[in-house]
């Protein structure tokens, strides 16, 4: 059975996902077959595996860092929020229904056998399992329900824990000390070390505080990890990339920041292109006059369309489209661009809603979820002939009544629609290969009278590999990996297995 290490945080956003990804890459570099695991994930950025199953994108990123194919066993339970109190429950890649928070809390323990079976299956196949917790282990009101999330999971699989605090937000000593103080004695004993994350400055200035922290908690500080600029896909809408102003570049791309935005990682390849500046707009005033408007995916298309309408953004997008500004809709954004959205079975909010009317399409929602990875060739105007490799993940079907399809799938079916300067498609990940990114950049630069770069865009895969190595280098140089290996040995459940620090 595999050795394991669990990364828990003092709060959401402390950097657990990236630290886990770094450890996956480090163990891979050290020659160990490594897999990530997270018992329960809550996020709208999901991933479709090659066998058409759905999992959290954070574990897909960690799998890629480990050099292996993402597998739903790595994230057996996924919650996709659909409202402030409810989520769609996905177990081992399949939709199990819609649950309000209280209802899910009551049935959660019944999922332990499936979660544990998924973990044991991975542990029998790999040398090392890097486990990620969720939120904070010190949510004392939820402790009884921590069946397979933080310390509950650590106990189930006998994992040592690294507790991570975020110094960038301030109060990191209180975060770490307070979290440790609220844990039960057996839980504190499981913490192999404390990690201070996202530090900017001279680590020597922290030394008096580190010594006091170790004295008060009785837990060693195993590292101060610097704030890293490695560009790794984010897990959910708490991502700083949705808030910060992006670097100004020759081409201005505005992505509408929908309240329930999902899979915004679609735009990571655009953000890394030297000529494309990507920013997120959540008001008509901030939208301005970009060179391209993108309507992204969303977990609740109808509700977000109403928000778009009420905020004045719909009118602003329609005005830009009429003036010739290109508009691209992806998945839920594509559905919004059509003529009507019908929900006869109450999958979203029920009833029928008028679309934006920019594409000759009609969408009907149904309980069946489409999940598939697929290749396609673009047929729409300036992008015709470009080959893409993406995935579909949506509820409902959209029928085009006029115009041309955006692309033709490898199955021979048509997808999406294109009319003039407006384009729509169900395919996520369409920019990942780099070919469509390059063609889009050249087209948008040409519209501005600028010469496109003669340098081909680096493929997303090659770019990601460099970023994983940068992240791993930063963590390895600042984290006591010898102590991490020793903790993994100490907690090994089944013999020594030959692992050595």
Active site residues: 331, 428
For 415-434, give the DSSP string.
E-EEETTEEEES-BTTTTTS
Three-class SS state of 265:
helix
Helix (H) or strand (E) holding 58: helix 57-65
Cα angle, residue 397 at apex, residues 344 and 423 outer, rounded to 5°: 125
Three-class SS state of 342:
strand
Supply φ then ψ for residue 26, to 5 degrees.
-60, -50
| 97 burial type by CB count under 10 A (0-12 exposed, 13-18 middle, 19+ buried) | exposed
- Dihedral angle computed from the Cα positions of residues 379, 385, 391 and 396, in that order, rounded to the nearest 10 degrees: 0
Report the distance separating Cα 475 and Cα 479, nearest Å: 6
Contacts of 189 (CB under 8 A, 6+ apart): none
Contacts of 211 (CB under 8 A, 6+ apart): none
- Nearest residue to 47 via CA among 348, 262, 252: 262
């Amino acid at each position: 059975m595999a050795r394991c290490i669990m990364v828990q945080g003092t709060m959401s956003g402390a950097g657990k996902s990236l630290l886990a990804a770094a450890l996956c890459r480090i163990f891979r570099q050290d020659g160990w077959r490594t897999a990530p695991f997270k018992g329960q994930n809550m996020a709208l950025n999901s991933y479709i595996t090659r066998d058409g199953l759905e999992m959290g994108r954070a574990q897909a990123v960690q799998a890629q860092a480990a050099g292996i194919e993402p597998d739903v066993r790595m994230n057996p339970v996924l919650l996709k929020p659909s409202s402030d109190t409810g989520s769609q429950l996905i177990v081992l890649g399949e939709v199990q229904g819609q649950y309000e928070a209280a209802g899910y809390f009551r049935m959660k323990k019944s999922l332990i056998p499936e979660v544990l079976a998924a973990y044991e299956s991975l542990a029998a196949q790999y040398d090392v399992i890097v486990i990620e917790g969720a939120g904070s282990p010190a949510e004392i009101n939820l402790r009884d329900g921590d069946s397979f999330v933080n310390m509950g999971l650590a106990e189930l699989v006998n994992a040592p824990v690294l507790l991570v605090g975020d110094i960038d937000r301030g109060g990191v000593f209180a975060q770490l000390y307070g979290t440790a103080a609220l844990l039960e004695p057996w839980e504190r004993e499981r913490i192999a070390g404390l990690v201070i994350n996202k530090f900017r400055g001279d680590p020597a200035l922290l030394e008096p505080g580190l010594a006091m922290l170790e004295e008060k908690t009785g837990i060693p500080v195993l590292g101060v990890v610097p704030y890293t600029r490695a560009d790794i896909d984010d897990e959910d809408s708490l991502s700083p990339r949705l808030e910060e102003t992006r670097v100004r570049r020759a081409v201005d791309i505005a992505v509408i920041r929908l309240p329930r935005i999902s899979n915004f990682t679609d735009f990571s390849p655009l953000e890394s292109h030297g000529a494309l500046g990507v920013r997120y707009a959540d008001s008509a005033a901030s939208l301005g006059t970009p060179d391209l408007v993108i309507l992204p995916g969303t977990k609740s298309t109808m509700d977000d369309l109403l928000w778009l309408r009420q905020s004045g953004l719909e009118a602003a997008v329609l005005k830009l489209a009429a003036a010739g500004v290109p508009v691209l809709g992806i998945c839920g954004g594509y559905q919004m661009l059509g003529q009507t959205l019908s929900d006869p079975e109450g999958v979203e909010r029920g009833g029928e809603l008028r679309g934006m009317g920019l594409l000759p399409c009609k969408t009907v929602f149904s309980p069946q979820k489409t999940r598939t990875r697929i290749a396609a060739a673009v047929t729409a105007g300036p992008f015709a002939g470009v080959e893409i490799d993406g995935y579909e993940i949506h509820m409902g079907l959209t029928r085009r009544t006029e115009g041309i399809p955006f692309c033709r799938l490898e199955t021979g079916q048509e997808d999406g629609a294109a009319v003039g300067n407006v384009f729509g498609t169900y395919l996520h990940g369409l920019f990942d290969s780099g070919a469509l990114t390059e063609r889009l950049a050249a087209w948008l630069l040409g519209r501005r009278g600028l010469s496109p770069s003669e340098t081909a865009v680096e493929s997303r895969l090659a770019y990601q590999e460099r970023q994983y190595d940068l992240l791993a280098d930063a963590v390895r140089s600042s984290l006591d990996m010898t102590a991490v290996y020793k903790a993994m040995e100490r907690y090994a459940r089944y013999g020594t297995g030959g692992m050595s620090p």
